[in-house]
Amino acid sequence: IVLTGGDDHLWKTWGFPDGNILLTGEGHTDWLSGCCFRPSGTQLVTSSGDTTVRLWDLSRSGCILTLRGHSRAVRGCCWHSCGDFVASASADCTSKIWDVNSERCRYTLRGHKDSVNSIEFLPFSSTVVTSSADKTLSLWDVR
C-alpha cells in the first residue's frame, strides 16, 4: 500500500501491483504537503496548506482529529515510532510536537529564521531534525 497527498486536497491509498485506489480522504481545504502512516498502520497523519494537521482513521476513512496552532501552511508531518506523538513543520518558522492522546501541542520549537520545510523523528529517540529555508538543519531534544 502506498499513501499519497496532493493539490486536490485529498489523500489516497493505493494497492500494488495493480495501482487501484483503496481509500480516499477529504477534509483539508488546501493542498496536502505531507502524509504518513501511524506505526501501527491503523491511522495516518496529513499536513496541509490550510494550516492544519489531521489524523485519520483508516477503517472509517474519516478525520478523527484536527490539530490547529500553526499560523501559516504546514509543510510536513511525521509520527514518533511509539505512535503517541506527531511532529509538524510550518512556514510560520516553527515546528510543533503534538500529543495525540491529549489532543494538544506539547512543544513549539522556535529558532529557525524562515519556513521550516521538513521534520523527522530519529528512530526510537526523542530527537527531531528540522530543515529550514534559512539554510540550516536543527536537532531538537523534545523530552
- Sorted by where each starts, the structural domains of the chain and their CATH numbers stand as 31-141 (2.130.10.10)
pLDDT digits (tens, 9 = 90+) for 36-65: 999 999 999 999 999 999 999 998 869 999
CB atoms within 10 A of CB 59: 9
Structure confidence at residue 120 (pLDDT): 98
pLDDT at position 60 is: 80
Q: What are the residue ranges in the chain where pLDDT is below 70?
A: 61
Q: What is the pLDDT of residue 24?
A: 93
What residues contact 102, with CB distance under 8 A and at least 6 apart? none
